[in-house]
């Protein structure tokens, strides 16, 4: 690609529900979508049957969407959307460095924080695909609604104004509306931590603690998100927008949210290991809960809700005891 305004061929790394939905949005914008799938059989289904029965059943895909399981086919694209699970980004993307042009724009669409390193997705991508311009796409999005062409607004963040404009023009269509920002960190933090808060909200609903409690969790969860975003160098106003408050609201109030649904099942008494053993799709908040807790400690900031979710998921803490400890915290100013 010689001119960023000429973004026509867009690669999508990851053929789950969100990656497939973004491929649908790309074609609706009049661009060419090349969808990379790890599973050759899934790529074949997308090409031959114009559907993804595993991750987006009952959604008919535009026949112009092409899928491949050969990463080498991505060599000719103008921009790459990275839509693999956050914990797999490093491993999958590291094999692309020799394939992708050094100036290829990368759009981080996965929402999470790397467990172990505590790094944001832009930080991981900068290590394994160095030197390439970056953007972040995040916001309140259910994949099935995007794929069906229902109205959706997202944040598209890049510190390169020309790139952000070109990407917005390439990805945006009548119903998929990108709003441009320069705050990559804020967009990332909002998208990652809201999944952890959504698990907490699900647990509260599963325990039948009421709508007051959920509203309090959303509000205080937003405070945690802002606290972490500012500590990482993001902007508070970003976290009050689509990729912060907007995404948090959606994820914490609908059973369609994988993270909320997981928390709901836990609150109703389901066993965590049993739930994880039968899940087909990834609830990013599970791994992000541990990563957020470690990152918050390293930055010396308080994130009690995130810490509580991590204790329940990864430390075997009793749900009722954790809720009791949260309610026993000292009174303080808002």
- One of 1.10.1040.10, 3.30.1330.10, 3.40.50.11260, 1.20.210.10 is the CATH number of 189-327, namely 1.10.1040.10
At residue 332, the pLDDT reads 75
At residue 1, the pLDDT reads 41
Of the residues 102, 111, 119, 194, which is catalytic? 194
Mean pLDDT calculated for residue range 5-22: 93
Calpha distance 4→314 (Å, rounded): 44
Burial label, 123 (beta-carbon count in 10 A; 0-12, 13-18, 19+): middle
DSSP sequence for 107-123: EE----B-TTT--BHHH
- Residue-averaged pLDDT of the chain: 94
At residue 6, the pLDDT reads 82
Q: Per residue in 210-239, pLDDT tens?
A: 999 999 999 999 999 999 999 999 999 999
Mean pLDDT calculated for residue range 86-109: 95
5 pLDDT more than 70: no
Band the pLDDT of 4: cuts 50, 70, 90: very low
At residue 246, the pLDDT reads 97
Spell out the domain ranges in the chain. Answer: 4-182, 189-327
Q: Per residue in 167-200, pLDDT tens?
A: 999 999 999 999 999 999 999 999 999 999 999 9
Which CATH code fits 4-182? Answer: 3.40.50.720
Q: Helices (DSSP H) in the chain: which residue ranges?
A: 17-28, 40-49, 89-93, 121-128, 143-147, 161-171, 184-206, 211-232, 236-239, 247-251, 258-267, 272-278, 285-299, 304-314, 319-327
At residue 328, the pLDDT reads 80
2 pLDDT more than 60: no
Q: Model-level pTM? A: 0.94
Residue 194 falls in the annotated catalytic set: yes
At residue 3, the pLDDT reads 44
Task: Report the range of poorest mean pLDDT among 3-17, 20-34, 212-226.
Answer: 3-17
Q: Per residue in 36-67, pLDDT tens?
A: 999 999 999 999 999 999 999 999 999 999 99
132 pLDDT more than 50: yes
Q: 49: which residues sit within 8 A by CB, 6+ positions away?
A: none
At residue 334, the pLDDT reads 73
Q: How far is CA 179 from CA 28, 45, 182, in A?
A: 18, 33, 10
3-class secondary-structure state, position 56: strand
3-class secondary-structure state, position 195: helix
Mean pLDDT calculated for residue range 2-22: 86
At residue 190, the pLDDT reads 97
Say what percent of the chain tops pLDDT 90: 90
């Amino acid at each position: 690609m010689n001119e960023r305004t000429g973004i026509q061929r867009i690669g999508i790394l990851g053929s789950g529900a969100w990656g497939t939905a973004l491929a649908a949005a790309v074609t609706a914008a009049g661009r060419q979508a090349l969808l990379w799938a790890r599973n050759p059989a899934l790529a074949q289904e997308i090409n031959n049957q114009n559907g993804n029965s595993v991750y987006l059943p009952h959604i008919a895909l535009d026949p112009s969407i092409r899928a491949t399981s050969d990463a080498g086919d991505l060599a000719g694209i103008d921009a790459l959307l990275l839509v693999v699970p956050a914990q797999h980004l490093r491993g999958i993307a590291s094999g692309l460095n020799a394939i992708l042009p050094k100036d290829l724009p990368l759009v981080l669409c996965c929402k999470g924080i790397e467990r172990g390193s505590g790094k944001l997705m832009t930080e991981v991508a900068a290590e394994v695909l160095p030197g390439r311009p970056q953007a972040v796409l995040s916001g309140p999005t259910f994949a099935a609604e995007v794929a069906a062409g229902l109205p959706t607004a997202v944040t598209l963040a890049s510190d390169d104004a020309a790139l952000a404009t070109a990407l917005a023009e390439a990805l945006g269509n009548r119903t998929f509306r990108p709003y441009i920002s320069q705050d990559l960190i804020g967009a990332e933090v909002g998208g990652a931590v809201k999944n952890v808060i959504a698990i907490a909200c699900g647990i509260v609903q599963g325990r039948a603690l009421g709508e007051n409690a959920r509203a309090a969790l959303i509000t205080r969860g937003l405070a945690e998100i802002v606290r972490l975003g500012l500590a990482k160098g993001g902007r508070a106003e970003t976290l009050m927008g689509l990729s912060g408050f907007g995404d948090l609201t959606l994820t914490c109030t609908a059973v369609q949210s994988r993270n909320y649904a997981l928390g709901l099942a836990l609150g109703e008494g389901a066993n965590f290991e049993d739930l994880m053993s039968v899940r087909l799709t990834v609830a990013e908040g599970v791994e992000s809960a541990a990563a957020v807790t470690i990152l918050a400690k390293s930055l010396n900031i308080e994130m009690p809700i995130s810490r509580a979710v991590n204790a329940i998921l990864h430390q075997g803490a009793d749900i009722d005891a954790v809720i009791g400890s949260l309610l026993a915290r000292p009174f303080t100013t808002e």
